[in-house]
Chain A
């Protein structure tokens, strides 16, 4: 059982010229393993700041982040083991893989560093992980990132994230850079893995439609504040906060559009 808590977290960035900028304002939430929370909001709402604090790339100005009730270690072995528990999948699979290294190397490294399996078992584990993300190990293991498609690369990034056997995943816009025809496949893969491995997932996105279908809960962020937090269907179908309604009405929704628009070709 893994529980991650954000307790009244605020983050203030220093800005040259101006005094400062409040990126997160008193944010609290709890993420358990086996559950998925979607974090939605427009550019600059603070989504990525939350991801950065979760991965300890930034420290909160005030408030606490607790893993199973204890503060996250700031450095050393403790931090390393925390980062083994929580892994991140980045938006751009073109930038998050190193063009110099083979796919094998990308997945081997966390296995070696976190000593997940004995040395002799590493090759088998790399193949198992690739198989897990539905890539043909024989076909991709010796390739370099540029030889793979965007969808395949993102699958490699997912395999790499799973290598350390984390219990929590932060997925920052994992499919927004991918082509539509393969987005669904990658999202469905993530959903399967989440269920099978019992992962807790924080899914960061501005696509309300996938947020609704992919997650148990949705958290709406505006100017660094959580303005609404509830079950996915409640937040989308019955939004309480004005900002959620604005976001919702801005999202393309052909269903509603054709239900309300006048028939085409008719007189104006």
Chain B
């Protein structure tokens, strides 16, 4: 658990001492097609416990491939060609993710690192209730729990993300987009993982719903102390919620710095271009010609 004090929403985690959760060293992924695509090139980074790391960059820059690769979620033709990913478990053991066999990997996933997928709104199974889908997580990963205990855990989760336990028998189509997104977050939260990877979790939601969900993620993070890798191409949003931001381009991290520093003193030309491509809500007009 992180040492973050209870605090109002949206306060950044303060990390007095480096306490890494994930150490990525020289990580590369290629898509073995003709011609070979180098999707992620020699990425090295350290994620702190309780930190929100934003991953920014345009489509095709490799941010999703990187996030998937860290959990070995890639399939052929993707090949991890170099590098190591070490997970520093809160229990005190260091886990080399690349060294796990498939059984260990299955147990590791979702338990330690969970994921909120891109377009999560449509990632739920339309023909079964959300309660049953939540229940699945426990059925697989916590086989010792009784039916009653599982049910209680699911209800608690739905309350936690403010969907409400009375919705446990609802089908996905009976919920709004925002609620479906919250169910996905509940599912990712189920096993109290130490890291949640969120791939564009609020894209396609309107601003009010988006704000509400971000507030909730931030609150849950303070409550449970998990780290977040937050992937989006919405840089203004990332600047607000992240502790640090990694800017990716052509498979490389070209700049990695605290959010404020990215905003006030971007070092790389590309970061400056990316920042300039967003019209400012209250600032000067600048980029749009009118």
Chain A 37-74 residues near chain B, CB threshold 8 A: 42-43
Interface string of A219-243 (1 = CB under 8 A from B): 0000000000000000011000000
Question: Which residue of the partner chain, among B208, B243, B277, contacts A180 with CB atoms under 8 Å?
Answer: B277
Interface string of A185-217 (1 = CB under 8 A from B): 001100110010000000000111110111000
Chain A interface helix/strand/loop/mixed: helix
Report yes or no: B290 in contact with A43, Cβ–Cβ below 8 A: no
Report yes or no: A191 in contact with B259, Cβ–Cβ below 8 A: no
In angstroms, Cα B7 to Cα A152, docked, is 46
Chain B 65-123 residues near chain A, CB threshold 8 A: none
Does B14 belong to the interface (CB within 8 Å)?
yes
Report yes or no: B211 in contact with A257, Cβ–Cβ below 8 A: no
Report yes or no: A253 in contact with B282, Cβ–Cβ below 8 A: yes
Report yes or no: A213 in contact with B285, Cβ–Cβ below 8 A: yes
| Stretch in contact with the other chain, from A82-90, A107-115, A122-130, A260-268 | A260-268
Residue of B nearest to A208 (CB): B281
Chain B interface helix/strand/loop/mixed: loop
Residue of B nearest to A43 (CB): B206
Does B166 belong to the interface (CB within 8 Å)?
no
Q: Using Cβ atoms and an 8 Å threshold, which residues of chain A touch B207?
A: 42, 206-208, 247, 250-251
Report yes or no: B290 in contact with A214, Cβ–Cβ below 8 A: yes
Report yes or no: B58 in contact with A258, Cβ–Cβ below 8 A: no
In angstroms, Cα B274 to Cα A248, docked, is 22
Residue of A nearest to B283 (CB): A255
B interface list, Cβ under 8 A from A: 4-5, 7, 11-12, 14, 58-59, 177, 205-211, 233-237, 239-240, 243, 258-260, 263-264, 274, 277-283, 285, 287-290
Does A254 belong to the interface (CB within 8 Å)?
yes
Report yes or no: A236 in contact with B233, Cβ–Cβ below 8 A: no
Given contacts A42-B207, A252-B239, 5 further A-B contacts (CB under 8 A): A42-B209, A181-B58, A207-B207, A209-B278, A267-B14
Report yes or no: A253 in contact with B258, Cβ–Cβ below 8 A: no
Residue of B nearest to A246 (CB): B208
A–B pairs, 19, beta carbons within 8 Å: A42-B208, A179-B59, A180-B233, A180-B235, A183-B277, A209-B278, A213-B285, A252-B239, A252-B240, A253-B281, A253-B282, A254-B263, A256-B281, A258-B263, A263-B260, A264-B12, A264-B243, A265-B14, A268-B4
Q: Using Cβ atoms and an 8 Å threshold, which residues of chain B touch A117?
A: none
In angstroms, Cα B281 to Cα A236, docked, is 8
In angstroms, Cα B287 to Cα A250, docked, is 22
CB distance from A243 to the nearest CB of B (A): 10
Report yes or no: A212 in contact with B14, Cβ–Cβ below 8 A: no
In angstroms, Cα B236 to Cα A146, docked, is 31
Most A-side CB within 10 Å, residue of B210, B259, B289: B289
Residue of B nearest to A267 (CB): B14
Report yes or no: A256 in contact with B282, Cβ–Cβ below 8 A: yes
Q: Using Cβ atoms and an 8 Å threshold, which residues of chain B touch A253?
A: 236, 240, 280-282
Does A148 belong to the interface (CB within 8 Å)?
no
